[in-house]
Copies of this chain bind each other. A is one copy, B any other.
Amino acid sequence: MNQNSDLNIVILGNGNVATHLSEALLNAGYSVLQLWKRNEILRDADLYFIAVSDDAIEDVSNLIPENKPLAHTSGSVELSRGGVFYPLQTFSKNVEVDWKDIPILIEPNDSPMLHEIAKNISNNVQVTTPEQRRQLHLSAVFACNFTNHLWTVSEELLTKKNLSFDLLKPLIYQTFLKIQNHSPKQVQTGPAIRNDLKTLEKHRKILDEKYLTIYDLLTQSIQNTHDSH
């Protein structure tokens, strides 16, 4: 493990982001003076990372000495002072992640210290504007939170007919593989894009009201997206 400059870092937070970030910083050779858990804040660090819940970021930032540089790790918060160091990944307790692959989004453009740190822990560092970061955060909701919910709906539908969600996993994997080398728009399949009215009608007939609206809206959206007119 190499000693990476003489930066002394304090991480404010005790959740999954804070824990994983401290590990990454230590592995990159930085000194993490403190992983903060509501105890007193050390005042002589070179940089303070705020990795608490969005709602608490502003309050916590007020505890940091005014002359000290700070950065928060949130995808959606804007703070009047300091920078942003946003790792675009979901962190879970006890699940190792490979930081080299995690995109780290940096604001502002002119922060050499945040840049240096990001580049020492990831191969995928990008400078963003607040507007871009907001859009990324929003896109991640569509690409991850909403897709996970559709898997939840699938599982519910299958369970109702005594079928295992495992049956769909090979197909889900194939769907995921396809977007590694193609734009998702190019590899859309299914009855909506074929405008296969017979199948669409069969599906609508067996769907409960609560998922029928989702079915219709996403079918319509697929057709609008791929409409050549």
Contact A214 B203 (CB under 8 A): no
Contact B196 A152 (CB under 8 A): no
Find the B residue at minimum CB distance from A186: B152
A208 to B219, CA, bound (A): 18
Report chain B residues within 8 Å CB of A215.
Answer: 141-142
Tell me whether A111 is interfacial, beta carbon within 8 Å: no
Contact with B along A125-163 (1 / 0, CB 8 A): 010100110111111111111111111111111101111
A167–chain B nearest beta-carbon distance, Å? 5
A131–chain B nearest beta-carbon distance, Å? 7
Contact A135 B148 (CB under 8 A): no
Residues of A bordering B, CB below 8 Å: 54-55, 76, 88-90, 92, 97, 101-103, 124, 126, 128, 131-132, 134-158, 160-163, 165, 167-176, 178-180, 183-185, 187-193, 196, 198-199, 202-203, 206-207, 210-211, 213-215, 217-218, 221-222, 224-225
